[in-house]
Structure 1
Amino acid sequence: MELADRAVGFLLSSISLSIFIYYTFWIIISPFVDTDHFIHKYFLPQDYAILVPVSAVFALLSFLAMFIGFVILKSE
């Protein structure tokens, strides 16, 4: 079981690191690169720079609230 836990931890760490690197390049590096450069085809438009994290936080808080509500209802 310890090997499975390590594999899951490594997978989650790798996914988190890759998302962090992608978002950092998208927000900090890409505005300083020319708009006709090929690198811009790998990134979303800058309009989504705030929309994506806000919707992710909203989804996380919604699932957390549903989980807490489910636990409260289950415990009674």
Structure 2
Amino acid sequence: MLAVATIVFVYYSSWTFILPFVDESHFLHQFFPPRVWAIRIPVILLVIAFGIVGTFVSSVMIKQSEKEKKKLAAKKST
């Protein structure tokens, strides 16, 4: 996983920091997507990550609330 993370970091860093200073006719441009995706990809990943975390937190809160309601109902019935 460390090797994959390093490769992704080097690729993304060279794509965003080095490629804008290289002439557009240079052969390196064929290895990278358009620069607009340098912003879109992280934004999409962040939205997905926040959605997953939000879903997890809300499901835990709903389950906790149901447990508390059951406890209150058990106390009232005794």
Q: TM-score range by the shorter chain?
A: 0.7 to 0.9
Equivalences, count:
65
Q: Choose 1 or 2 for highest CA Rg.
A: 2
Q: CA RMSD in A?
A: 1.3
Q: Which runs of 5+ in 2 are unaligned?
A: 67-78
Q: Which runs of 5+ in 1 are unaligned?
A: 1-10
Residue 49 of structure 1, CA deviation? 1.7
Q: 1:48 aligns with which of 17, 37, 43?
A: 37
The list of structure 1 runs, each at least 4 consecutive aligned residues, that deviate by more than 6 angstroms after superposition, is none
Query: Identity percentage over the alignment?
Result: 34
Letter in 2 for 1:28: F
| Correspondence list, 1:1-76, <5 A | 11=1, 13-75=2-64, 76=66
Q: Distance in 2 between matches of 1:66 and 1:15?
A: 28
